Chains A and B, each alone.
Chain A
Amino acid sequence: MNITIIITAAFVLGLVWGGLVFFLIRALKYEKKKLMNGEE
């Protein structure tokens, strides 16, 4: 497979899917923290 295809796929998927996973983990972390602090 052409290297430019691999780079494009890595850029697009890394940013979009990677970004989604990154923000999801952060949101889960904050929610867990709130639960541990006794917040609803």
Chain B
Amino acid sequence: MKQPEGKPEGKQEFFSSRWALIIATIGIAVGTGNIWRFSRVVAQNGGGSFLIPWVIFLLIWSVPLIIAEFAIGKSTRYGPVGAISKTAGNKFGWMGAFVVLVSTAIMFYYSVVTGWCLRYFFSAVSGGLFDTQQHFEYWQSFSSGYLPLLFHFISIALVSIVIYRGVTQGIEKVTRLLVPSLLIILLILFVRAITLPDAIEGIKYFFTPKLEIILDYKVWLNALTQNAWDTGAGWGLILTYATYMRQKEDISLNAALIGFGNNSVSIIAGITIFSTVFALSSVDAMQQISQSGPANTGLTFIYLPLLFAKLSTSSLVNGFFASIFFLALFFAATTSLLSMVELSTRTLIDFGLKRRKAIIIVAAAGFVFGIPSALNMNFFSNQDWVWGVGLILSGAFISFSIIKFGVNKFRTEIINGYGSDVKIGKWYNYVIGVLVPIQAVFLISWWLISSISWDPEWWNPFHAENLGTCLLQWGIAIFVFILLNKKIVDNTLRN
């Protein structure tokens, strides 16, 4: 029985320590989804009733998949294409290509989101954000103009410079600065929020369980979706960073730290938002937290600025808290965007390109293909829908590659192999071999079937969010990748 045969280590760069690896990977997991999507989904799904399944899926979806990604990346030393080819067999390299496409397509519009956060940070610092009471109009005027394009360019350019500098001089140095800063800012906001009068009402709602809601299957599927989207498990991003972990590095303990660390941050952000909204809202607080707004931005870009203005009588204090909130969002988005750009760059490096050439191509493509999302909110929503659900398919492909390799062999020889501090028991075989595929099938089916119910023309591929557009875009991608499978795999493994 052999391990998947990886590349010789040669000039490979490595994260300098366990902590550098953990901080960088926490940076992947903690993104804007922890801050704005988590609070909204908790509000829409009955507060504490949602948190119970959310914690359970952390254990049976996120952590097992993070372990899988660490193990595949560490053992093969390839990005997703080479890694899945080495693990599942060369016939399945197209699955790795799909994983790369999904994360790359997300990178195109996530750079736009990063730009929004940066723009709002500048608005808060300059005081411009508080010059108006009409935040919906403020947002509309910003998002319908050309400024998102400028900030999208700044975001992709900044991140590309970091990736060009490599793993230790780029990713490691920047995440060592941004991730702790993000956590400190979140803690400052957390302390301020929970000390507001009536904040306790928000905290009570956050932890209130209702039996009838817990028994609703939709709450469970939403909890699974939140874990799939906000931990970064199954995206191929952690797999890519794992190619830079040293051979003697542990897998399972590090994976647990990432999963639990990510969800801990979500709880801090959730309590902060609920406390703030319940303390300062003069209208129905729940309605405000639950609303999606355009591209799910309602709470963050439209409602929270209103609340920041009510925080105190001093505009300086209000401006300070609003500024650090949007700075935290920008840091969270940047550290996740870094990993998406690195994944695409690493894939091209595996194809035989030098890092410099690879990052120029990725940065140019990132900017050009992000333009439609920067200028058109419908296009943005379409991409968010198609590749958001596509991520679950990516997770299923990673799980499939382990099943194809042999779940028990994977656990005993790779996860529990050289460098492991903690040995994983047989439970892992059942979780990754049975539970993860079942969850993936349920989740994809549920989202696609739901999309039929919310769009009468569910088959029309030119609608923003329905079954037709998903099947068309996935279908084209998978068809092309299967057709070019041999070429893609040969080019990757030859180099």
Could you tell me which A residues sit within 8 Å of B by CB distance?
A: 1-2, 4-6, 8-9, 11-13, 15-17, 19-20, 23-24, 26-27, 30-31, 39
Contacts and interface: CB of A to CB of B under 8 A. Distances in A.
Contacts, number: 64
B55 A16 contact: yes
A8 B52 CA distance: 8
A8 B55 contact: no
A4 B248 CA distance: 45
B449 interface: no
Interface residues of B, number: 24
B210 to A, nearest CB: 9
Given A16-B58, A20-B257, A30-B250, A5 B267 contact: no
Nearest to B254: A27
Given A4-B208, A11-B52, A27-B22, 6 more contacts: A5-B48, A16-B260, A16-B263, A19-B260, A26-B422, A27-B257
A23 B52 CA distance: 21
Interface of B: 18, 22, 48, 51-52, 55, 58, 204, 207-209, 248, 250, 253-254, 256-257, 260-261, 263-264, 267, 421-422
Nearest to B257: A23
Nearest to A39: B248
B267 A12 contact: yes
A1 B260 contact: no
A12 B22 CA distance: 23
A23 B260 contact: yes
Contacts of A2: 204, 208
Contact of A26 (B51, B55, B253): B253
16 contacts: A4-B48, A5-B204, A8-B207, A8-B208, A9-B48, A12-B52, A12-B267, A16-B263, A16-B264, A16-B267, A17-B267, A20-B257, A23-B256, A26-B421, A27-B254, A30-B253
A5 B274 CA distance: 15
A5 B55 contact: no
B55 A15 contact: yes
Nearest to B253: A27
A12 B207 contact: yes
Nearest to B211: A4
Contacts of B256: 19, 23
Contacts of B253: 23, 26-27, 30
